[in-house]
Structure 1
């Protein structure tokens, strides 16, 4: 890799420098692509911004073994609206490569490149090769001159990343990302001074690989059909694509979790006749007012090119299968009832019975779902057992101060014990929202449970007393002392929806004020700074998907409470950010892998990256289908409807609804998959949050519409839908105290 950029030379910034005496030209909007008729110059122009081909003055670059081959087009022909270019490069060992490049205008201000590389003659000692296509900005720049968008990896300037994370170290010169860890195969960089953003997208990507493709050693195999997109940041700024996909200077390939790995994971094709080496790229410009608009624009453009498929699932069937799981695994151990913290798959054996009230444990929320099912159907067993779970938390977890113990261990032969585990706001928020739901469903059925609501009030009172002057809450507190023991405040969003819900029930102005103060802090330090951080508490203080989800919930709740449009816009920005963690094109399972846990004949569209710093995926965006549908109704943006339908349906496909995976119960689903090395391999366990992710949005849809299937709701007149969602917004579907 160190040889690749030795040939870059900057040209004069004078426009006359770029005029080619004899040239072909393509236009797309305000962008121009010019190639000299002699094949010796390639220039991309937008206004007074110029990019030239990688390794200028050359227009074609290959790497063969350790040799960098640079050359020119031998012929350039204009055929209708396309430029058809041919080059032949010869290695030192005599291998002859033919490169055919076809350039055409694409969407506004963009062009496409269709490239095919053919090995016409094989040199005796040449073993492997890669091809590159890149464009270099023709002025000196620094990495700090740009705001970067690489979905799931790089947002703006990448604050709040740990050493060893991809793109965490701005002293690196190369940032190459395997496309199979990108939710859409795109990269974009926005120049801060001008607002001009340049993006590159791999079109029609089918990033195949094979079982055993792992490790830092160079692997040479035609079955690798994935590329890498990224940047070179030396004295100049280059955007490029390499095929097959080399990753570095940082890579997660072959990395031991928690360690820093610097270097390149090399992947190459063999120097053989008939090797398949072809790809299509899009590249071009958008001028945006700010970074959030860049994210929205580039993501939606790429989304529209791929148009991800919604795979319809029977939502009611998924609901019934999930309730069956809750019924099957609920166990009362010596007065401590609940669900196992994890369940082995596929055999369905419970690993351990320990209980976390919210976040990944979701004990109280799952009790609420079972309780509601029991009340709605007259199933006394469900009502009794679910009420026991809730009573266990109400009677045992709350301290006199109102603060909560959140994690208990249950035993067959003695009483439950409480772990010496910090009280995280993320955990308590999930638990308290579940408690609000349980109280509310009882109230709707004419049963008053004041002790359940008092449990919520007592905790909310603790929040009011312990809120910082700036409106923030710390990420966690020591429940023995009530003092914060971590300095992060980025999870202040977590308790806002709960406070708003409690306000709608009680009309206690203290809860309004606390929610609003927390919202103002979150608006200034999370929304304004585009820092969605710390939602995954076992991977704290890094950018992640779940922080975006929590911000959506918080800002939407504040919009409902105040009707101030700034909260709606903040929720929309968080939603735009969050969806960029969702795989919106298919990454196929590895060839010849008999160990994959991912369901056969199922694509990964709808599964989402969990956080920066790794590439694990799960169905966690399932929680948010209701909010995305709400954002569609608020904005009229059909893209958000598409996202909501994808979330509601595709996230359910990893359940064993058809029984083909052989899980003990159809409603079981695995907690986490790997989409890169060892693709489709999972942790082979279900956690309680998996069930909650399926059931929670269904209950919100039912509260708002009396129906949980978006496709059914969409058949109703828009006037009816808006009337129903506006009525829901006035109360959050909650009864009055």
Structure 2
């Protein structure tokens, strides 16, 4: 029997207060206490946030009931009085649940209340934010403190509260590394409804009947030098990106304090002993998956039919120019549209990241050969030839990232979201970007002078180049020039690899690392070298094709850096290239996907358990970006009308928590493979959730999601509020990104990663049907 979490009601002069101890430790380890369990905030409509009043008391009565307690408290403030009844019940050896009911006995007009709950740390005499490590995916990994200054990087604070619709597992976990104690505060009942707040003048405080609360970590109340796992109902967020990107103001709702109003909400406290932070993370997440009873979303069509739809849509945006039109003879998938109208915004051929042109060529060629579509095959070969013959820089081995068909030239693309920089200037540029241009102008000016490429972008499409080379060779057609280009690039990697096994985030066309401006390329080793893992899969692939051990040795050296610095340190970041937040590099799900696939590739090539253990830890972190419950959406929203379910969709990045996208399809096959190697059934379950959830929004003839063409899929979706009031997303083509809406964007990466995932599953198991896959993995 493990440690039991014991709940005691301590009687004091002012009443009773809950205290939690771990039974089984010497003398019982006191871990948490709730000094003022009945806590309410009151606000009058029109008042400022400084005029919010806080009222808190202990329980006035406690009655033991079986293995639990029934507790009551009455609280009066001016005209208002209310009664709080808390039912404490044990739900597991290490878990207690409190079912809360608040009744307004005497209310007041134009007044609202918010119920609060603080579980305060009690492990040592004093404790602050830096003494613990935190896990609240996708919003908080450790402290989100890559620059190690003691505060969260994106919100610049140590007090963090998140709307529950931003949290994948409806919980926040704090881990004490000294005592190996993991403490979680969880929303026990799932929020069932939400609406668009009534705030005609962009009020930041308002009355609202919503079932969305908040969870977070906060400095303990009442001058205690401790940290609190805090809950609020309805929601409150301190510094956040819900309304504005740059200012990051607080906001929150209050329940109308009308006589007779009653609300109910349930929380749970769970305390475990775990040797490592990664163990605490995985236990917290997988147990929540069981608590929430996460079930896959039905696929809109068979996997094979979805491939057909996706590639037909992609083919609409194929573009090529003959030598008479453009001596470079460009060819590529230039998909860049608002899926609602399908109209091409620009003829940009991008390699890697949002473009994924060579991976799309690989997908189209395989599909074309399987289904007799010779035009798909011919187009794919032209795309690869253009990449090898024109995008390649043989002097250094590097590749360009972007080609502008209109300009008939290669260009340099640094700022991701600021894609209009590649095809617009002057007033047109300002028109497309709105206030975002001014917000990022100093970065734009610095980057416009640089000529070079992102490491990730080059690595992605060179890896895809090796995949299509090997596949073509298996079909009896060898493209030696494709392999030679990949070899020249790999030689660039070997030449630029640092002594610790790493690479920098970007390089100029002469092959020198780019580290300026620091806000964009990073100030610490974790940021500047965040893309190192992206080099590994192609080096392993090239070793397997050529048999040259130098490629594997470089990959192993990089793998050790990735496992020890990025994965073990939980310092993954920088996978995404389009930050508009306080700093240029984000903690995002793409930056842990690459370590996962890199370490798995090394394990398969070497059979070294060191790499499998690293891949498994990376897979746990990668899996945690998956939403485990169905967030309630405003009834009138687009996603609600089409029946969108958030279970199984992948979150994107920490500062944009509440924004989700289907990129996590990229790693589904690898997660299945790691689950098979390790016997981790929970990891297999998350892979299944992802496969279904991330494929649900492909437009089909039966359900088009409001898109112009069958096969299109939007890049991302808002299941919480993000930049709602910010003019940079107001009246532009990308505007009105409200809760329950999409981001009005479509890029080639969307079908690229999805169809590639299908091929990986098919090559492993002969199917993408998870009912069959689970049977095969179990064997």
TM-score range with shorter-chain normalisation?
0.7 to 0.9
Q: Deviations 1:372-416 (Å, cap 9, x if unpaired)? A: 1122233221111111111111110111221111111113xx744
Q: Does 1:99 align with 2:87?
A: no
Q: Paired residue for 1:49?
A: 29
- TM-superposed deviation, 1:211: 2.0
TM-score, normalising length: structure 2: 0.83
**C-alpha distance in structure 2 between counterparts of 1:481 and 1:167, whole Å:** 30
Alignment partner, residue 640 of structure 1:
683
Q: Report what 1:361 is aligned to.
A: 355
Question: Alpha-carbon deviations, 1:33-54, whole Å to 9, x = none?
Answer: 1125795232222244335654
SS of the equivalent of 1:158 reads coil
**What's the RMSD between the two structures over aligned residues?**
2.5
Deviation for aligned residue 1:533: 1.5
Give yes or no for the alignment of 1:128 onto 2:112: yes
Q: Would the alpha carbon gap of residues 462 and 289 (structure 1) be closer, same or farther in structure 2, given more than 3 Å must change?
A: same
Mapped pair 1:667 → 2:711: yes
Alignment CA distance shift 1:421-1:700 (3 Å): farther
Q: Does the 8 Å CA contact 1:163/1:260 hold for their aligned counterparts?
A: no
| CA deviation profile, 1:257-280 (whole Å, cap 9, x unmatched) | 3x242x531221110134352111
Q: Aligned partners of 1:717 and 1:264: how far apart in 2?
A: 47
Structure 1, unaligned runs of 5 or more: 1-26, 720-737
1:251 matched residue in structure 2 = 240
Contact 2:151 2:157 survives alignment (8 Å):
no
CA contact (8 A) 2:67 2:90 kept: yes
Q: Does 1:500 align with 2:484?
A: no
Contact 1:28-1:106 within 8 A present in 2 as well: no
* Equivalent runs, 1:40-79 vs 2, <5 Å: 40-46=16-22, 47=25, 48-50=28-30, 53-54=33-34, 56=35, 58-65=36-43, 66-79=52-65
Partner of 2:666: 623
Structure 1 position 541, deviation (Å):
3.2
Choose from 404, 421, 431 the match for 2:399. Answer: 404
Which position in structure 1 is the counterpart of 2:733? none
Rate the CA distance shift 1:472–1:49 in 2: closer, same or farther, 3 A: same
CA contact (8 A) 1:185 1:201 kept: yes
Relative to structure 1, the CA distance from residue 695 to residue 177 in structure 2 (aligned partners, 3 Å threshold; closer, same or farther) is same
Which residue, 266, 277, 302 being the options, matches 2:263?
Answer: 277
Partner of 1:704: 764
Q: Is residue 53–residue 59 contact of structure 1 (8 Å, CA) maintained in 2?
A: no
Alignment of 1:193-212 (within 5 A): 193-206=178-191, 208-212=193-197
Match of 2:586 in 1: 542
1:684 to 719, 737, 744: 744
Structure-1 residue corresponding to 2:499: 469
Q: 1:28–1:374: structure 2 CA closer, same or farther, 3 Å change rule? A: closer
Find the partner of 1:111 among 72, 96, 99: 96
Counterpart contact for 2:172–2:215, Cα < 8 Å:
no
Q: CA deviation at 1:125?
A: 5.7
Cα distance, 1:498–1:602 mapped onto 2, change above 3 Å: same
- Give 1:322's match in structure 2, choosing from 289, 310, 313: 310
Match of residue 734 from structure 1: none
Q: Gapped runs of 5+ residues in structure 2? A: 44-51, 413-449, 516-520, 523-527, 722-737
The CA deviation at 1:131 is: 1.0
Number of matched pairs: 680
| Partner Cα distance (1:707, 1:42) in 2 | 53
- Aligned equivalent of 1:90: 76
Alpha-carbon distance change, 216 to 426 in structure 1, aligned in 2, over 3 angstroms: farther
Q: Secondary structure at the match of 2:573?
A: coil
CA drift of 1:515 comes to 0.8
Counterparts of 1:545-556 in structure 2, within 5 Å, are: 545-556=589-600
Equivalent of residue 178 in structure 1, options 163, 171, 174: 163
- Match of 2:217? 230
**Equivalent residue number for residue 652 of structure 2:** 610
Q: Name the SS of the counterpart of 1:141 in structure 2.
A: coil
C-alpha displacement at 1:166, in angstroms? 5.6
Which residue in 1 is equivalent to 2:603? 559
Q: How far apart, CA to CA, are the structure 1 residues paired with 2:390 and 2:503?
A: 24
Counterpart position of 2:618: 574
* Cα distance change on mapping 1:341 and 1:500 into 2, 3 Å: same
**Which runs of at least 4 in structure 1 moved beyond 6 Å after TM superposition?**
161-165
TM-score (norm 1): 0.87
Distance in 1 between residues matched to 2:173 and 2:565, nearest whole Å:
24
2:370 & 2:230 partners in 1: Cα distance?
57
Is 1:32 the counterpart of 2:38 in the alignment? no
Asked if the contact 2:138/2:624 (under 8 Å) is kept, the reply is yes
- Indicate the SS of the match to 2:337: strand
Please say if residues 210 and 223 of structure 1, whose CA atoms lie closer than 8 Å, have aligned partners that are also in contact: yes
Secondary structure, aligned partner of 2:236: coil
Q: 2:474 aligns with which of 437, 444, 464?
A: 444
1:372 aligns with 2:372: no
Contact 1:337 1:392 in 2 (8 A): yes
For residue 228 of structure 1, report the CA deviation from its aligned partner: 3.1
Give how far 1:525 is off: 1.6
User: What corresponds to 1:520 in structure 2?
Assistant: 560
Matched with 1:587 is 631
Deviates more, 1:266-275 or 1:396-405: 266-275
**Shift in Å at residue 449 of structure 1?**
1.1
Q: Distance in 2 between matches of 1:625 and 1:581?
A: 12
Structure 1 residues 328 and 528: alpha-carbon distance in aligned structure 2, compared to 1, 3 A threshold: same
Matched, 1:188 2:173: yes
SS state at 2:235 partner: coil
Question: Residue in 2 aligned with 1:265?
Answer: 251
Q: Structure 2 residue aligned with 1:459, among 462, 481, 489?
A: 489
Shift of 1:114: 0.3
Paired with 1:610 and 1:659, the residues of 2 have a C-alpha distance of 25
- Structure scoring higher RCO (CA < 8 A, sep ≥ 6) equals 2
Contact 1:163 1:169 in 2 (8 A): no
1:519 to partner: Cα distance: 1.2
**Secondary structure, in 3 states, of the residue corresponding to 2:115?**
strand
Q: 1:381 aligns with which of 375, 378, 397?
A: 375
User: CA 1:395–1:126 in structure 2 vs 1: closer, same or farther (change >3 Å)?
Assistant: closer
Aligned residue among 402, 408, 424 for 2:454 = 424
Q: Which whole-Å CA distance do the structure 1 matches of 2:772 and 2:40 have between them?
A: 53
User: Secondary structure of 1:41's partner?
Assistant: strand
Q: Distance in 2 between matches of 1:164 and 1:524?
A: 22
1:161–1:542 contact (8 Å) kept in structure 2: no
Q: For residues 424 and 689 of structure 1, do their structure 2 counterparts lie closer, same or farther at Cα, with a shift above 3 Å needed?
A: same
* Corresponding position: 1:601 with 2:643: yes
Name 2:518's counterpart in structure 1: none
